Structure 1
């Protein structure tokens, strides 16, 4: 369990760094990139006999949280 928290913490730091390089909020949201990630993890789920709908929901929730975090960071940097 604590490994998940460590990985989320690491991802959070990467998101904060990435916010510095994004031109605008659309770069942060990147819907095409989100769709590509979802497609990839659904395929990985299928390969590992996991319900791809569960994996998609988990990933969409996580991505949404990180996008919101990055939008806050981006706003702080650009204001």
Structure 2
């Protein structure tokens, strides 16, 4: 839970601490995205627009429940998901290429 900071330096220190945790979690999420590519048969299943909307609905609700801004959460997640979809396309293409060789 966020604490009230007395200085800008404290604010920045807490943001830096959170950034370390967020990047670590992004790396972990990326590993799962790479694994997902192994289970998907084509690029349409990589895009998975219905799954994207499920995730967005879930994180918007989670955002509300923890007192975060659902609009910010949705924007961050849509950007993150788009980046991970590109990663998954690359993974999927590499898997298809290795299967042909």
TM-score between both structures, scaled by the size of structure 1:
0.92
Match of 1:20 among 28, 38, 41: 38
User: Number of matched residues?
Assistant: 79
Structure that is richer in helix per residue: 1
Match of 1:35 among 38, 53, 64: 53
Structure ID, larger Rg: 2
After TM superposition, what 4+ stretches of structure 1 lie above 3 angstroms from structure 2? none
Measure, in 2, the Cα distance between the counterparts of 1:29 and 1:7.
22
Gaps of 5+ in 2: 1-18
Query: Larger relative CO (CA 8 A, sep 6+): 1 or 2?
Result: 1
